Amino acid sequence: MSLDAAAVAKIARLARIRLTKEEETNLAAELSSVIGWVEQLQEVDTDGVEPLTSVVGAKLRRRPDVVDHSTDREDILANAPEPISGFFAVPKVVE
């Protein structure tokens, strides 16, 4: 599968990224090579291969699940520039 400049333009529009015609052409070639590499990986026979998350057989250390009230709300809110009603106040963001 390969991408053309029109497909890249559509993807850029959906991602709200402004690209020049030259950038669209360059990205089409780069993305096509990435897709080709992924297609090549799909040809690898992985039957009988057990999935793994790490090549190291390490076990995670576990700690006891205990409730700890070591921090106080007032101590935490002391770092806030303008706490309101016991909460952090942040500026409103509207796009």
pLDDT tens digits for range 8-44: 999 999 999 999 999 999 999 999 999 999 999 989 9
Q: Could you give the domains of the chain?
A: 5-42 (1.10.20)
Per-residue pLDDT, 73: 83
Rounded to the nearest angstrom, the gap between the alpha carbon of residue 64 and the centroid of all alpha carbons in its chain is: 30
Q: pTM for this one?
A: 0.49
pLDDT tens digits for range 60-85: 889 888 887 777 888 888 888 888 88
pLDDT band at 55 (very low <50, low <70, confident <90, very high): confident
Q: What angle do CA 31, 32, 36 make, to 5 degrees?
A: 115
- The answer to whether 13 and 29 are in contact (CB under 8 A) is no
- For 3-11, the CB contacts below 8 A with 24+ separation are 3/28, 3/31, 3/32, 3/35, 4/28
Tokens describing residue 32: 């096509």
